[in-house]
Structure 1
């Protein structure tokens, strides 16, 4: 949580990719540091066989 600016820890599950409507998104409440985004990107590439 400290690295993202969120109050609580959260997780991204690369094996459970879903799309949602932009209308369901609200204002940003935190941000993902570049290094963590690279890890997520690599996990997505692995699970999507890219």
Structure 2
């Protein structure tokens, strides 16, 4: 994703196959934003990798 697409200072990517858990204390302020269609695709990819069904 380009900075214009996501609001981050440089090109970035989301890797649905590399999900990790983090402590809530490590979560900071929002850094960027994804357009709804991109977020929908990312959500579907995460569900696929976790073996979850959509709409549950």
User: Which has a greater percent of helix?
Assistant: 2
- The two structures share one fold, judged by TM-score above 0.5: yes
Corresponding residue number in structure 2 for 1:20: 22
Query: What 5-or-longer segments of structure 2 have no aligned partner?
Result: none
Q: Which has the higher contact order (CA 8 A, sep 6+)?
A: 1
Residues 11-46 of structure 1: CA deviation (Å, up to 9, x unaligned): 111111111011112111211111110010111111
What is the total number of aligned residue pairs between the two structures? 50
Query: What 5-or-longer segments of structure 1 have no aligned partner?
Result: none
